[in-house]
Every structure is written in C-alpha cells, then in structure tokens.
Amino acid sequence: MGLTGLTIAWEKAQHVFSRDIGITIWLVVLSSIAFTVIGLFYTAKLILYRKAVVSELRHPVKLNFFPTISISLLLLAIAYLAINPAISRPLWMAGTLLHLFFTLYVVSVWMHHEHFEVHHMNPAWFIPAVGNVLVPVAGVPLGFVDVSWFFFSTGMVFWGMLMTIVFYRILFHNPIDDRLMPTLFILIAPPAVGFIAYTRLTGDIDTIARLLYFSGLFLTLLLFTQVGRFAKLEFFLSWWAYSFPLAAICIASLVFYEMTDKLAFGYIGAGLLLIVSSVVCLLMIKTIVAISKHRICLPGH
C-alpha cells in the first residue's frame, strides 16, 4: 500500500507540475512485484499453516489487516489507470469484490464478537473503511459511478463511527501499545482519500470536499507534532503505517492545487511528496535490515 501510494503520488505530481521524469513505470513495476511476492508468501502460509491464518481471521487486531489485500489491488488499479486501462479494470473489479467480501466479514465479526475489549481498538480498524472510499478513485473513470457512490457512502459512514470510538479509546483508556503507535497515522487516510474520491464523484471542490481535506490536513499536522515520540519507537512492520496515509494527504494536496490553482497547496503537495518518498526509502532499508537479522514475523512483531 505504501509503495503504490507513493507511485500514485509521483504520477499526480508529474501531471500537476507538467514534468515527466520517467519514474512512474519503475515505481509501478516495483509495487507490482512487492504485491506479488508478499501475496505468494501469504498463499504459502495459507497452504502450509492454515490454522494460523484462521486464527488471524479471528484476532481482534490482525483481522483488520486482511482488507489490505483488496486495498492493494484497488491502488494498483489506480496506478495502472493512466498507463493501461485494460490492466486497471480487472484489478479494480477484483479489488472491489474482494473488499466487499472483507468488509462484510469484518463487520459481521465486530457485530457478533465475544472477546473484543476497548484496548483492542486502534486505528487499524479504519482499514476496512478506507478501502471502500478508494473504490471511486478508479471506479468513476472506468464508468462505475453508482457502484462508486455505494462504496464511498459505506466508507464515510464507518469513518464517522470509528473515529468517535478510536478517540474515546485514546483519551480515556491506556495508551496504545508501542507496536501499534504508528497506526495513528491511519487517522489521516479516511478524510484524505475521502476528499480524492469525493472530487472524482462530483468534479468540484465544495464545502464537503473542503471539510474532508482540511480535517485530513489537521490530523497530519497533529501527528507531525508527535514526531519525537514516533522517532523513539523500536522498528516494527507497523512502521509501514506511516507511508500510505502520508501519500494520501500528499495526493489530496496536489488534487486541491490542480482544481483551485492555489499555489500554497502545490507547495504543500510537493513538500509532502519529498517527505513520503524519504519515509518509504527509510522503511525499505529498515525492513531489509530487519529481515537480514531475523527480526520480523516474530510473535509480537
């Protein structure tokens, strides 16, 4: 998700600033390879360790990461849209159908759980909702307008509900565990992606669009003030939660600039592009080092 989000951010930046530096195809290929390799590893896990996968499907935290599979397909559909719509369409269809399945499954588990407690709540619970909001970004250009409105509406409704619960958990209960602290950045994604999707659906920046964008920008600023706390955290794979939300608010800023021609948002978008590019490079290095030292895919990590 982080790699593909970065890819889309660079695509948008090159389009908005009318500068083609030839980086898009390389990022698309890298994102596609990453998705394929991780997908093959998890398929092998499903075949060899089926009980572990079933356990994750019932876990109050890990459960919410399964929709990252369908979200990745939707992001790849967006990335391929400008390159080859013939590839984008099947990716979008597969991602949309799979995400509907995951959303229905996850919400059903939420409704009929017997073991969830308040401390299980964290921003990762937004992941199923964010995926729904992504559908219109490629869905509208591909001609699926009503389907896009369906998923957008679903995502926005759940964003409102979950935002209330997450802040209740943050304010009135024990702090989020260090391993999941980076997931606080996921708070940025729903309003940022919601803004992008809404402008696709309406073709305009109205009051609702501004509400979505500026709420996402505020959350970004809020989390930037906490950078000292995040810098002290030990590296976990959850650090990748920094990447996609930053890419989302970067793209949203570039879209705002493109549609209003207000230079300030162009500077914000360009600045965020540099930040998210640096973050993704750092995450790739940290992950490679952790793999070489056998420090990932361990209990608690």
Encode pLDDT of 227-285 as tens digits: 988 888 888 888 999 999 999 999 999 999 999 999 999 999 999 999 999 999 999 99
Q: Which residue from 130, 132, 126, 68 is spatially nearest to 96, judged by alpha carbons? A: 132
Give the tens place of pLDDT for each residue, 172-204. 887 788 888 899 999 999 999 999 999 999 999
41 residue type, one letter:
F
| Range in 14-23, 26-35, 51-60, 214-223 the model is least confident about | 51-60
pTM for the model: 0.93
Q: What is the mean pLDDT of residues 15-39?
A: 93
End-to-end CA distance of the chain: 19
Query: In this structure, are residues 242 and 1 in contact, taking their beta carbons and an 8 Å threshold?
Result: no
- Return the pLDDT at 79: 95
Q: Is residue 261 a part of any domain in this protein?
A: yes
- Return the pLDDT at 128: 86
- The most confident of the ranges 106-110, 112-116, 121-125 is 106-110
Please give the C-alpha separations between residue 97 and each of 66, 144, 161, 173, in angstroms, as whole numbers: 14, 13, 23, 36
- Return the pLDDT at 1: 93
- Cα angle 169, 170, 176; round to 5: 100
Q: What stretch of H or E contains 202?
A: helix 189-202
Q: Which residue has the tokens 């590893």?
A: 41
Q: What is the mean pLDDT of residues 219-223?
A: 96
200: DSSP letter: H
**Which residues 6+ apart lie within 8 Å of 12 measured at CB?**
251, 254, 255, 258, 269
CA 145, CA 152: separation in Å to the nearest integer?
10
Q: Is residue 299 a part of any domain in this protein?
A: no
Confidence of residue 74 (pLDDT cuts 50, 70, 90): very high
CA 65, CA 62: separation in Å to the nearest integer?
5
- Return the pLDDT at 112: 79
CA 239, CA 286: separation in Å to the nearest integer?
9
Q: Is residue 138 a part of any domain in this protein?
A: yes
How much is the mean pLDDT over the chain? Answer: 91
Q: Is residue 107 a part of any domain in this protein?
A: yes
Domain count within the chain: 1
Q: Which residue from 276, 268, 249, 243 is spatially nearest to 193, judged by alpha carbons? A: 249
- Return the pLDDT at 177: 82
Give the tens place of pLDDT for each residue, 90-105. 999 999 999 999 999 9
Q: Is residue 74 a part of any domain in this protein?
A: yes
Structure tokens given for 254: 């570039």
Confidence of residue 82 (pLDDT cuts 50, 70, 90): confident
Of 179 and 207, which is predicted with more confidence?
A: 207
pLDDT value at 218 more than 80: yes
Q: Could you write out the DSSP letters of every residue in 152-175?
A: HHHHHHHHHHHHHHHHHHHHHSPP
Q: Is residue 297 a part of any domain in this protein?
A: no
Cβ atoms within 10 Å, residue 21: 9
Range of the domain at 105: 2-292
Confidence of residue 114 (pLDDT cuts 50, 70, 90): low
Q: Which residue has the tokens 């021609």?
A: 261
Of 198 and 111, which is predicted with more confidence?
A: 198
Q: Is residue 300 a part of any domain in this protein?
A: no
Query: In this structure, are residues 149 and 135 in contact, taking their beta carbons and an 8 Å threshold?
Result: no
CA 227, CA 146: separation in Å to the nearest integer?
40
What CATH number corresponds to the domain at position 214? Answer: 1.50.10.150
- Return the pLDDT at 174: 77
Q: Is residue 56 a part of any domain in this protein?
A: yes
| Range in 113-117, 147-151, 278-282 the model is least confident about | 113-117
Of 198 and 129, which is predicted with more confidence?
A: 198
Q: Which residue has the tokens 């409102």?
A: 160
